[in-house]
Amino acid sequence: MEGSTLKGSPPKFYEPWDITDLESAWQMSRGDLLLEGGPWAAELKEDLFVPLEEGHLRAVTSALTLAEILVRPKSLGREDVCQEYKALLCSYPNLAIVPFTVETAVLCAEIRARYRLRTPDAVQLAAALEKGATVFLTNDAGLPGEVGGVRVAVLKDILSL
């Protein structure tokens, strides 16, 4: 693949450009403060997080994302890192965090029943559907290509690696 498909204007099949499930992208770009970030950190920052900060992209994620990104620093006793992640995620420009409500739970169950997905994936997809996202960005290549009208895009497939 030549160049990142995220640079410049979004791919035609992803319009309007909305992304959800930033959990995977978030973990690799911000990394753990004890480590030097993942192999895609620089590209994710330039191709995803800078455009998000500048308002060229909008994103949604479920509150589950916060729970997931706090596991590592919590296990290391790094409450300072937890506070930084929470503050950053909760104030990130153009990122909406969808709470887990009764309606989300019902939609999650429908997604699980229809597509036979794991609960975390179904929660994130329910959040995407609730907010009208058109693209679900993930690291899980095992997910179907579309769920409930939301296109599933695998991170490694849309970044130039």
Q: Across the chain, what does the average pLDDT equal?
A: 75
Q: Which runs of consecutive H residues, i.e. helices, occur in 50-101?
A: 50-53, 64-75, 79-91
- Strands 95-98 and 135-138, sheet pairing: unpaired
Query: Alpha-carbon distance 149 to 80, whole Å?
Result: 39
Those residues whose C-beta lies under 8 Å from the C-beta of residue 16, and which sit 6 or more positions away, are 134
Query: Alpha-carbon distance 106 to 102, whole Å?
Result: 6
pLDDT value, residue 55: 84
The answer to whether residue 50 is domain-embedded is yes
For residue 142, give its domain range: 20-158
Q: What is the pTM for the complete model shown?
A: 0.75
The answer to whether residue 63 is domain-embedded is yes
Edge-first strand order for the sheet with 95-98 is 95-98, 58-62, 18-20, 135-138, 150-154, 146-147
Band of pLDDT at residue 138, cut at 50, 70 and 90: confident
The answer to whether residue 9 is domain-embedded is no
The answer to whether residue 6 is domain-embedded is no
Q: Give ∠ CA 17-22-24 in degrees, rounded to 5.
A: 130
CATH code at 100? 3.40.50.1010
The answer to whether residue 138 is domain-embedded is yes
The answer to whether residue 35 is domain-embedded is yes
The answer to whether residue 2 is domain-embedded is no
The answer to whether residue 4 is domain-embedded is no
Query: Alpha-carbon distance 20 to 152, whole Å?
Result: 9
Q: Which of 123, 132, 133 is nearest to 103 (CA)?
A: 123
Band of pLDDT at residue 38, cut at 50, 70 and 90: low
Statement: residue 140 has pLDDT above 80: yes
- Strands 150-154 and 146-147, sheet pairing: antiparallel
- Tell which wins on pLDDT, 15 or 159: 159
DSSP, collapsed to helix, strand or coil, labels residue 159 as coil
For the chain, the domain total comes to: 1
